[in-house]
């Protein structure tokens, strides 16, 4: 992560074998809270690990499945791109605008 006075740049969230346990979600939620508290947008590029080692007939399907899963995850956290969600692929540039606190 790189923070400046105008934005936060998220470089990577790599979970490896910890994927699926909620650690990445917790980390991203905390980063979003931090950005919101300082009224800073977050920018990043969605990057999917290439499914090396799969037979060619399975490679594209696995890559697309992983891209859809990761795109939905970022989208749930408020990230948007300049194209429709179903067109987000690896290296799509994303941006999340800060969310103002709700008044009670």
Which phi and psi angles does 15 have, rounded to 5°? -105, -25
CA of residue 12 relative to chain centroid, distance: 9
Please, which residues have CB within 8 angstroms of residue 46's CB and are 6 or more apart in sequence?
Answer: 67, 70, 71, 74, 88, 89, 90, 91, 92, 94
Query: Percent of the chain, pLDDT > 90?
Result: 60
User: For residue 80, what are the β-bridge partners?
Assistant: 95
Neighbour tally for 1: CB within 10 Å: 14
Give residue-wise pLDDT tens across range 58-82.
Answer: 998 999 999 999 999 999 999 999 9
The predicted-structure confidence for 91-104, as pLDDT tens digits, reads as follows 999 999 999 876 55
Reported CATH class of domain 2-96: alpha beta
Q: Which residues contact 50 (CB under 8 A, 6 or more apart)?
A: 63
User: What does the pLDDT look like over 26-55, one tens digit per residue?
Assistant: 999 999 999 999 999 999 999 988 878 888
């Amino acid at each position: 992560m790189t923070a400046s006075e105008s934005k936060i740049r998220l470089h990577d969230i790599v979970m490896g074998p910890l994927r699926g346990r909620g650690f990445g979600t917790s980390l991203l939620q905390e980063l979003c809270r931090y950005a919101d508290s300082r009224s800073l947008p977050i920018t990043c590029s969605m990057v999917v690990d290439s499914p090396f080692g799969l037979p060619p007939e399975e490679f594209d399907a696995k890559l697309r499945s992983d891209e859809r899963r990761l795109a939905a995850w970022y989208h749930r956290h408020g990230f948007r791109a300049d194209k429709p969600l179903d067109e987000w692929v690896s290296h799509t540039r994303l941006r999340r605008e800060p969310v103002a606190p709700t008044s009670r």
